[in-house]
Amino acid sequence: DTGVSQNPRHKITKRGQNVTFRCDPISEHNRLYWYRQTLGQGPEFLTYFQNEAQLEKSRLLSDRFSAERPKGSFSTLEIQRTEQGDSAMYLCASSLSRISGNTIYFGEGSWLTVV
Amino acid sequence: GDSVTQMEGPVTLSEEAFLTINCTYTATGYPSLFWYVQYPGEGLQLLLKATKADDKGSNKGFEATYRKETTSFHLEKGSVQVSDSAVYFCALSDQAAGNKLTFGGGTRVLVKP
């Protein structure tokens, strides 16, 4: 078990470009979450999947953001027409759904800098 | 909606001092409570958790007790080390909200030798 894996770890892009981040969850985990964290703040929920179904999207997830988990394994988060305000760390996490108290495990994060 | 409030930092301590970080929460259901730690440039690591009232989570000398009557989950450590310097996040997970985590704003702790 290698934990939650994210790549790329760092991305610098010009404003207006598209970027895509990939997340590989812990292998048996059926839930996958995306969070965004800006400097000095706590992580903010963006969206989550149970298997391949996207069950909830935050209002933070504008129409420039799209997330997929096509086969219920890895997930991608794409940001189109990036803006400077998109600069943040994008965290992926996974868990095995239980009735209560399921532990959510985080990856190392993908840093995005929009210049 | 659910929310978590934790004391603002930075908290600066000397090695072997006692650490307390206050955390209170608001939730509509019966949440599970967590403390995560984030070291510089890294993702979040689970430090400890408690799933029901009066449960005590503990790990690496850190402890926190789930207090339903005061809606609190304060983090404590009796003797901190320089290696405990990090940002600590209190969070809750509510089954009614898909078990996703809601985080506090984080508390930066700096331990000086």
Residue B103: which of A50, A46, A8 has the closest Cα?
Answer: A46
Instruction: Report, as an integer, the average pLDDT of A88-112.
Output: 86
Task: Per-residue pLDDT tens, chain B, 113 aa: give them.
Answer: 889 999 888 999 999 999 999 999 999 878 999 999 999 878 899 999 999 999 999 999 999 999 999 999 999 999 999 999 999 999 999 877 777 899 999 999 999 99
Q: Distance, in angstroms, between B89 CA and closest chain A CA?
A: 7
Query: How many of the other CB atoms lie within 10 Å of CB of B112?
Result: 11
Q: List helix spans (H) across chain B.
A: none
| Residue B50 in tokens | 């408690």
Contact assignment for A33 to B102 by CB distance below 8 Å: no
Q: What is the pLDDT of residues A42-92, one digit of tens each?
A: 999 999 999 999 999 998 888 999 999 998 899 999 999 999 999 999 999
Q: Which tens digit of pLDDT belongs to each residue from B22-31?
A: 999 999 878 9
Distance from CA of B17 to the nearest CA of A (A): 24
* Chain A neighbors of B42, CB-CB under 8 A: 108-109
Q: Does residue B76 contact residue B57 with C-beta atoms inside 8 Å?
A: no
Cβ atoms of B51 and B99 closer than 8 Å: no
Q: What is the pLDDT of residue A101?
A: 61
Give chain B's radius of gyration (CA, Å): 14
Residue with token string 């759904």: A97
Q: Compute the nearest-CA separation of A38 from chain B (Å).
A: 11
Cα–Cα separations (whole angstroms), residue A51 to A68, A77, A101, B18, B23: 11, 16, 19, 43, 32
Between strands A19-24 and B44-50, the pairing is: unpaired
pLDDT at A20 over 90: yes
First and final CA of chain A: distance in angstroms?
36
Q: Are B12 and B19 in contact (CB under 8 A)?
A: no
User: What does the alpha-carbon distance between residue A9 and residue B100 come to, in Å, rounded to a whole number?
Assistant: 23
Taking residues A3-21, what's their average pLDDT?
Answer: 97
Spatial separation of the C-alpha atoms in residues B47 and B94, rounded to whole Å:
18
**Which residue has better confidence, A102 or A74?**
A74
Residue A96 buriedness (CB in 10 A; 0-12 / 13-18 / 19+): middle
- Calculated CA dihedral for residues A73, A106, B59, A44, nearest 10 degrees: -130
Q: Which residue of A has its CA nearest to B96?
A: A100
Contacts of A105 in chain B (CB under 8 A): 46
